[in-house]
Structure formats: C-alpha cells, structure tokens
Structure 1
Amino acid sequence: MSWKKLLIPLASVPVILLLAYGFRTDPKAIPSPLVQKAAPEFRLKSFDGGEVALADLKGKPVVLNFWASWCYPACYEEAPLLEATWKKYQGRGLMMVGVDIQDKDANAREFLQRFGFTFPNAPDPGSKVSIDYGVYGVPETFFIDRHGRIA
C-alpha cells in the first residue's frame, strides 16, 4: 500500500476529532477573556438621539446586552426578560444598555418597538464595540460591576 493512499484517511482523523470536540462544546460555557478586567470604554449615539457612554455609568452596575433583529429565536426569547429586569431594578441603581450589531436601522427600531424597550439602546456602527468586547455571536450579555470590571 502506498503512502498516498494513507494520506487522506490520516489527514481526516484530526478533522474528525476537531469536529467532534466542537460539537460537544457548549458555546454558552466559553468564558470571556475579559472577566475580571476593566470593561472597554464606549460612546454610542442611541436610537433615541441621545448618547450612551460607559464612562457616564461609573459607580453603577451595568448589564450590557449585544443583540440584533435578525437573531431569532434567541434575542426574541430574551427581550421580554431584559425589559422586565430593567423595570424591576432600574430604581435600585442598575443600568442596562443594549447594543445592536450588524443590523438595518429600520429592522432594529422595529425590534425595539415590538418589545417596548425603555432602557438605552444604540447601534454599533463598524462593530467597534462588539470587537472590543470580543462578541462573536448574539445574544451576548456582560455584567459590569460598579468598579467598571466585567464580572
């Protein structure tokens, strides 16, 4: 038997092992390398015409949620929970910020209206904030403690 006939089966073994590992891994269990580090600063123009900046929220715990209108069903399932959490805890000092990524403005606004979001939300033009936070899929949520560290 020639080595050329063995090349394809031998080369496919690492690929099969890698795929098996990937399918076994729960993507929700992948820890962020940012945990316990300072949250990356951002300043975005919000959908309501205002501005939302992490620097303005110092001293308060912040829930930072990355979402998109095309993220179905996950973003649609968590949206009511996010709004309910905001309504329940905003009076206790909790801040919540939504960051819409890679979306069309009209679709994002329709999503916000559909779920009645009353907490600040802003698009992320150029995906700069998403990249800074290492977001590789939506939805993704970060909790930033009152000291500005990702918990």
Structure 2
Amino acid sequence: MTRAWRWLIPLSAIPLLALLAYGFRTNPRDIPSPLVGRPAPAFVLTTFAGAPVSLEAHRGHVVVVNFWASWCYPACYEEAPVLERSWRAWGDRGVVVIGVDIQDKREAAEKFIRDFGLTFPNAQDLTGKVSVDFGVYGVPETFFIDRRGRIRAK
C-alpha cells in the first residue's frame, strides 16, 4: 500500500463520522414529518393488557399517538407523566392517548408502564411496521391526529 493510501482511508472517514455524530445528536422531535396534513396510517396492535387498539376504533376523537421505549432516557421518562396527566384530564372529553413501545423487551416495557402508572392503552410494535409507517426517526415521537383521522402535528 502506498503512503498516499494509508492517509486517504482514515481521512475519508472523517466526513462520515461527522455525519453520524450529527445524526445521533439530532432530536427526533425537531425533524418535521411529511405526514402532517395527511391521513394517519391505519394500525391495529395488541395492548400489554391483551386488548386490540386501533386508530379506526377512535375515529371521531382526537388521538395522541406517542412512540416510546423504556431505554429512552430522559425524554420518555419526562413525557410519560405528562401523557398520563393529559389522558386523565382530557380522556372523558374525547381525547385518546395511545402509547406505542418500539425496539424494546416486553418485560422492560411493562416495568416502565407500571413504574409510571400509565393507564392509557399501550401496545408494542413488535414488527416495527407502525413506526415505519409513521416515519418515526427516534423516540420519543408524538403525533396529534384530528377527529377526521388526519395528522395535525408532530
């Protein structure tokens, strides 16, 4: 290997490392969603309690879909109590909160739900399809869906 090649390979890695560092530092909440203004992707998941949960079942209600994981610290730990308080304050007025756990172990997710006393429906996206359909970049990400089923904000 020539002397030039010995330097070229490590130097070419610097822009790649800089790009990776930028990506890891980017807050998923700061990345706009192309789905805003469009119909929310349909899904049916099974909650940790064993019941089905879907967007279609909540048509006509405002729905808040929160993607989270037990290992998402500190952001998910900060959001969980806020979501629970919102669910308790607005649930009887037609606002539905649905938690979608991604890339997690069931036991860890169940512990998270217990530790925060979450009473709103939470389900695990075992295949990753729901998070892909929503374009989830990282956790936490929260989508606000209007009564007609359109995503209004992320």
Please classify the TM superposition score into its range, dividing by the shorter chain length: 0.7 to 0.9
How far did residue 29 of structure 1 move?
Answer: 2.4
The residue aligned with 1:73 is 74
Judging changes above 3 Å, is the alpha-carbon distance between structure 1 residues 41 and 16 closer, same or farther for their aligned structure 2 residues? closer
1:27-79 Cα offsets, whole Å, 9 max, x none, are 53221010000000000011111110111010100000000111111111111
Q: Distance in 2 between matches of 1:21 and 1:107?
A: 29
Q: Secondary structure at the residue paired with 1:126?
A: coil
The residue aligned with 1:122 is 123
Q: Distance in 2 between matches of 1:27 and 1:67?
A: 12
Judging changes above 3 Å, is the alpha-carbon distance between structure 1 residues 57 and 31 closer, same or farther for their aligned structure 2 residues? same
Normalised to the residue count of structure 2, the TM-score between the two structures is 0.83
Moved more, 12-21 or 55-64: 12-21
Q: Distance in 2 between matches of 1:137 and 1:54?
A: 21
AA aligned to 1:38 is P
The residue aligned with 1:88 is 89
Q: Distance in 1 between matches of 2:130 and 2:43?
A: 6
Q: Secondary structure at the residue paired with 1:106?
A: helix
Q: Secondary structure at the residue paired with 2:81?
A: helix
Q: CA RMSD in A?
A: 2.5
Q: Distance in 2 between matches of 1:103 and 1:24?
A: 21
1:40 pairs with 2:41? yes
Q: Secondary structure at the residue paired with 1:129?
A: helix
List runs of 5+ in structure 2 lacking aligned partners.
Answer: none
Among all aligned residue pairs of Structure 1 and Structure 2, give the percentage whose two residues are the same amino acid.
Answer: 61
Q: Distance in 1 between matches of 2:60 and 2:105?
A: 33
Q: Distance in 1 between matches of 2:112 and 2:101?
A: 10
Within-5 A mapping of 1:94-133: 94-133=95-134
Based on CA coordinates, which of the two structures has the bigger radius of gyration? 1
Normalised to the residue count of structure 1, the TM-score between the two structures is 0.85
AA aligned to 2:132 is I
